């Protein structure tokens, strides 16, 4: 039987928005939304410039690190809420573990 079956090469790739990773594109999309809500062309331009610069800064930081570096950074630096807390790991404010 001759059938063309597609075998994916990479199962754990990062989410993409166009050509960009989702964590790099999200500051631009957020700033586009905030700039659109501002209702002013000057404010839209300023907010979009801030979003592009934040996105470039994030992509430079993430360049030689693990693909999920941004998610790890957010876990360790943002406060925990019931939605973001994990049951199997210690809270992010516990920096030293003995055991």
The Cβ of residue 94 has, within 10 Å, a number of other Cβ atoms equal to 8
Q: Do the beta carbons of residue 55 and residue 24 sit within 8 Å?
A: yes
Nearest CA among 42, 26, 43 for reference residue 34: 43
pLDDT for the residue 85: 63
Q: pLDDT 10s digit of each residue in the chain, 99 long?
A: 567 777 767 777 777 788 888 888 888 999 999 999 998 999 999 999 999 999 998 888 888 888 778 878 877 777 767 666 666 666 667 667 665
DSSP 83: T
Q: For residue 30, what pLDDT is reported?
A: 93
């Amino acid at each position: 039987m001759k059938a063309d079956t597609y075998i994916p090469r990479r199962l754990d790739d990062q989410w993409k928005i166009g050509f960009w990773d989702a964590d790099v594109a999200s500051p631009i999309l957020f700033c586009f939304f905030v700039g659109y809500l501002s209702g002013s062309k000057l404010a839209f331009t300023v907010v979009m410039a801030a979003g592009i610069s934040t996105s470039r800064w994030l992509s430079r930081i993430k360049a030689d690190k693990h693909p999920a570096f941004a998610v790890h950074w957010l876990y360790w630096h943002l406060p925990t809420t019931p939605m973001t807390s994990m049951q199997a790991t210690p809270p992010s404010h516990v920096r030293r573990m003995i055991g």
